[in-house]
Amino acid sequence: MVLCTEIVNVIKSPITYLDVALPTALPNVLTYRWSESEKPPSVGMRVVVPLGNRRLTGVVWNVHNNDPAGYIPKNIEAVVDDRPVVTQEQIACWTWISQYYMCPLGDVVNTAMPSGMKLESKTRILINPDADLNVELLDTSLQLLDALQARGGMDVKEISEVLNLKYPQRIIRTLIDKGLAISEEELKEKYKQKTKAFISLHEELINDVEALKSELDKAEKQTPAQARMLIKYLEMASDGSSVSKVKLQKLSASTSATTNKLIEKKIFNIEHRAVDRVQKFIGKIEPLPTLSLAQTQAYDSLRKSLVERKPALLNGVTGSGKTEIYVHLIAEALQAGKQVLFLVPEIALTTQLITRLQKFFGDKVKVYHSRFKSNERTETWLKVLDDKKGSLVVGARSALFIPFRNLGLIIVDEEHETSYKQHDPSPRYHARDVILWMAAKGSVPCVLGSATPSVEMVWASQQNRIKKVDLKERYSGVMMPEVLVADLKKEYKQRSIRGGFSKLLRDQMDLVLKANKQIILFQNRRGYAPSWHCDTCGDTVMCERCDIPLVVHKRLKGLHCHHCGYHVTPIPTKCGACGSHSVNAKGLGTEKIEEELAELFPNARVGRMDLDTTRSKHAHAKLLEDFSNKQFDILVGTQMVSKGLDFEDVALVGVMSADKMLTFPNFRSFEKAFQMLTQVAGRSGRANERGIVVVQTFSPDHWVIQKVVDGDHEKLVANELIERKSYLYPPFVRLIRISLKHTDSKRVKVGAEVLSKRLRQRFGERVVGPDTPYLSRVNDLFRLEILLKFERELSPAKYKKMLDEDLDDFITDPRFKRLRFKVDVDPV
């Protein structure tokens, strides 16, 4: 008897457990039990599992037999895939991101996968996973939000009970409209591939001419419509091959009823085939561009570095033809059957670049962008997963999450762009840095490119960790633009300024317009004016919820907050503080520039490009196209105009004001100002004449302005490195920023003090603050920040672990329960 049970114990196989990563803010994987007799799903497949009273789709991270300590695992409910859709490399990368950027693994999974791949549902209302829940709400809405959060989702009936409301639909709608909640149906948006129907002759008839003839005879007598369709079909495909159903119906002037009848009768076969949703490229593939001597030299050095698997940094001035060099590198990788990932900043993802690449690589070009529909992204995801021929994925930062299996080259264009860093929501990752990790891990050739490389990357090249390759001349001898500085202080004194335009800028504009050339005017402030001001008492109208002036919007006829959406309409005609009627717009926004231009240059045609004019889907592309077709002469815009654009006829770029960027309180502001000014300046003079740039400023002697005039990026970086070394900023230290927010300013202050004290006990002098950030209050939340500076020699894994412990203690402290806080590793 004893022996018997022993044998049974031995034979009974151990229980199989699956660690599953779920796309929700969980710090780690959860373990579930596999209780089916079949083989368990493999790592990388999706499964449906219960979590609380939710049902979620997650990714199998690990399969093992170790009983989890402390809890009884629930069962896996369903397996979604028959093969892994997430690769081992992705699993390693996402895990690294979650550790390095100190964020829940679930956040990474959530960001990484298109929503269509993550969901599973009934008709329930959920918290929108993408929502920022820091909004002001009425009581009932807030109650619902809390309940949804607590229960993880409810159906309408449950909501009605919880709110004690017979018809809670209106409240639900409010949350949905504000983007806070979402119906599970909508969220579901399960991956559905778009298909097209094809008709072919039924197998049994293909080789049986007699049978076909008799069917045809029968049809001609009894069902003329069917006969007509059959004859048309035989005309189109006499060999019985397949033709498009829609086309067949159209050509035979019949309907699907007829088609269905023929399918029923086993005369036709129907087949649904997947079709591409992303627009197919039509046109002729062009031969690769011939590189100039300088380009060839740069290309050779890059290649050499890539062969050694050392990341390379292509530092090529604007207009040097970096893209052409990339094109050659891409072609080589594709030829070898490899995949290529080409990352560009969000803003540069224009049709201009895509068309340029399609000219050389046709439909090998795939575009991946978080603004694309979820099903389109899912399609690209699966296509790249199954890709055998090699393809080129062009995308914004989130494209690094897709399942490449055969990467032969990664390009990060405009490496210095801060839009590579995700601010919100978590994971707050920096795409360039993740790419460098991926390249090192997978031994993938990697090229970073920029006209104004980041201080960090230049330093890395000095440390010999990456190879910097310089390309100092523009393509085909085009000269670098001449930068002129307009001294606003002097011109104000001389009273020569009109509507924000210096005489210097106006004169240059005159010349350019007379020569029938084009102008770009850059001002990084949208709206009519940055503030509404009283001349009598000096009062400025502030946002009620944020510590910032309201922006004047003439077209919207109101004062608006760009941070929380609060607005006042109509624009007040008298001062709220003193009652005076001398209230005025102060400063210069893009809307006002447009208005001033109508006065100063009544004959010039003006276009404006900022967030307000490009909200609709194709507005951005349309504006660029119109400008490039010379539909208008002057393009006014925010930083949107500075990137990814290449216009033949722009002879002048005007920077309306360089001062704000030079005074912004951030250790990177000089670097950013230089990059921004150089980038905008680079839009000028691409044709055969030397372009002109006019920079308007109150501090013409500022050293950064001087470096822009000299086009001396090297000197700028050298200066910055000295400053950053002495004030302890990156690249000499690594930063972690902790921000705390609460509606009660005292609570946030006490919290920040307690936390910083605790951190100081552990990290000493490395803790700076708490300090008030540039915006001390946003949306009624008061904010404080603590900055941590760690020496590069320290192991990030070690101090992050300690930091995690301290933060855990802190959030579990009941006094600070409702304090919101976020951790930003390597803030930019």
The stretch near ligand ADP (CB under 6 A) out of 68-76, 260-268, 319-327, 359-367 is 319-327
Cis-peptide into 770, omega within 30 deg: yes
Q: Read off the tokens for 661.
A: 């960027």
In Å, how far from its chain's centre is CA 188?
22
The stretch near Zn ion (CB under 5 A) out of 86-94, 293-301, 330-338, 526-534 is 526-534
The one among 258, 318, 638, 756 contacting ligand ADP by CB under 6 A: 318
The reply on whether position 321 binds ligand ADP by CB under 6 A is: yes
The reply on whether position 242 binds ligand ADP by CB under 6 A is: no
Measured between alpha carbons, how far is 411 from 345 in angstroms, rounded to an integer? 12
The site partner of 558 among Zn ion, ligand ADP, none (C-beta below 5 to 8 Å per kind) is none
The reply on whether position 722 binds Zn ion by CB under 5 A is: no
The reply on whether position 541 binds Zn ion by CB under 5 A is: no
Measured between alpha carbons, how far is 400 from 692 in angstroms, rounded to an integer? 38
The reply on whether position 134 binds Zn ion by CB under 5 A is: no
202 Cβ contact partners less than 8 Å away, ≥ 6 residues apart: 266, 267, 268, 269
The stretch near Zn ion (CB under 5 A) out of 22-30, 429-437, 463-471, 564-572 is 564-572
Other Cβ atoms less than 10 A from the Cβ of 431: the count is 23
The one among 98, 128, 259, 295 contacting ligand ADP by CB under 6 A: 295
DSSP 479: P
Instruction: Show the site string, 644-683: x = touches ligand ADP by CB under 6 A, - = not.
Output: --x-------------------------------------
Question: Which residue's CB is nearer to Zn ion, number 432 or number 560?
Answer: 560
Question: Which residue's CB is nearer to Zn ion, number 364 or number 783?
Answer: 783
The stretch near ligand ADP (CB under 6 A) out of 20-28, 108-116, 312-320, 804-812 is 312-320
CB contact at 8 A, 803 and 787: no
The reply on whether position 223 binds Zn ion by CB under 5 A is: no
Question: Which residue's CB is nearer to Zn ion, number 337 or number 576?
Answer: 576
Cβ at position 583, least distance to Zn ion in Å = 7
The reply on whether position 227 binds Zn ion by CB under 5 A is: no
15 Cβ contact partners less than 8 Å away, ≥ 6 residues apart: 33, 34, 65, 67
The reply on whether position 315 binds ligand ADP by CB under 6 A is: no
Instruction: Show the site string, 480-519: x = touches Zn ion by CB under 5 A, - = not.
Output: ----------------------------------------
Number of residues that bind ligand ADP (CB under 6 A): 15
Question: Which residue's CB is nearer to ligand ADP, number 106 or number 691?
Answer: 691
The site partner of 475 among ligand ADP, Zn ion, none (C-beta below 5 to 8 Å per kind) is ligand ADP
The reply on whether position 292 binds ligand ADP by CB under 6 A is: yes
Q: Read off the tokens for 219.
A: 């049809």
The one among 24, 183, 305, 320 contacting ligand ADP by CB under 6 A: 320
The one among 274, 336, 537, 775 contacting Zn ion by CB under 5 A: 537
Give Cα separations from 26 to 30, 402, 698 (angstroms): 9, 21, 50
The reply on whether position 543 binds Zn ion by CB under 5 A is: yes
What is the phi/psi pair of residue 297, to 5°? -65, -45
Measured between alpha carbons, how far is 609 from 626 in angstroms, rounded to an integer? 12
Cβ at position 687, least distance to ligand ADP in Å = 10
The reply on whether position 324 binds ligand ADP by CB under 6 A is: yes
The residue number with the shortest CB distance to ligand ADP is 321
Question: Which residue's CB is nearer to ligand ADP, number 322 or number 553?
Answer: 322
Question: Which residue's CB is nearer to ligand ADP, number 110 or number 450?
Answer: 450
Which residues in the 469-488 window bind ligand ADP by CB under 6 A?
475
The one among 74, 178, 277, 545 contacting Zn ion by CB under 5 A: 545
The reply on whether position 567 binds Zn ion by CB under 5 A is: no
- Tell me whether residue 389 is exposed, middle or buried, using C-beta atoms within 10 angstroms of its C-beta: 0 to 12, 13 to 18, 19 or more: exposed
Q: Which of 431, 438, 484, 425 is nearest to 454 (CA)?
A: 431
The reply on whether position 769 binds ligand ADP by CB under 6 A is: no
CB contact at 8 A, 248 and 259: yes
Give Cα separations from 701 to 495, 654, 693, 697 (angstroms): 21, 18, 17, 9
Cβ at position 395, least distance to ligand ADP in Å = 18
Q: Strand ranges (DSSP E) for 65-149?
A: 78-79, 125-127
The stretch near Zn ion (CB under 5 A) out of 89-97, 416-424, 501-509, 534-542 is 534-542
What is the phi/psi pair of residue 180, to 5°? -90, -35
Amino acid at 371: R
Question: Which residue's CB is nearer to Zn ion, number 131 or number 354?
Answer: 131
The reply on whether position 540 binds Zn ion by CB under 5 A is: no
The reply on whether position 699 binds Zn ion by CB under 5 A is: no
Measured between alpha carbons, how far is 664 from 672 in angstroms, rounded to an integer? 10
Measured between alpha carbons, how far is 694 from 32 in angstroms, rounded to an integer? 64
Number of residues that bind Zn ion (CB under 5 A): 15
Question: Which residue's CB is nearer to ligand ADP, number 242 or number 320?
Answer: 320
628 Cβ contact partners less than 8 Å away, ≥ 6 residues apart: 647, 648
732 Cβ contact partners less than 8 Å away, ≥ 6 residues apart: 724, 725, 792
Q: Which of 777, 717, 674, 793 is nearest to 134 (CA)?
A: 777
Question: Which residue's CB is nearer to ligand ADP, number 384 or number 641?
Answer: 641
The helix (run of H) or strand (run of E) holding residue 654 is strand 650-655
Cβ at position 328, least distance to ligand ADP in Å = 9
CB contact at 8 A, 177 and 159: no
Q: Which of 650, 658, 657, 656 is nearest to 684 (CA)?
A: 650
The reply on whether position 564 binds Zn ion by CB under 5 A is: yes
- Tell me whether residue 444 is exposed, middle or buried, using C-beta atoms within 10 angstroms of its C-beta: 0 to 12, 13 to 18, 19 or more: buried
What strand order describes the sheet that includes 392-395? Answer: 365-368, 392-395, 339-343, 407-412, 446-450, 312-316, 467-471
The reply on whether position 257 binds Zn ion by CB under 5 A is: no
The reply on whether position 322 binds ligand ADP by CB under 6 A is: yes
Cβ at position 474, least distance to ligand ADP in Å = 7
With tokens 């405009």, the residue in question is 414
Cβ at position 559, least distance to Zn ion in Å = 11
The one among 561, 635, 662, 704 contacting Zn ion by CB under 5 A: 561
The reply on whether position 577 binds Zn ion by CB under 5 A is: yes
Q: Read off the tokens for 34.
A: 């596999």
Question: Which residue's CB is nearer to ligand ADP, number 295 or number 358?
Answer: 295
- Using CB under 5 A as the criterion, which residues of the chain lie in contact with Zn ion when the complex forms? 534, 536-537, 539, 543, 545-546, 561, 563-564, 566, 575, 577-578, 580
- Using CB under 6 A as the criterion, which residues of the chain lie in contact with ligand ADP when the complex forms? 289-292, 295, 316, 318-324, 475, 646
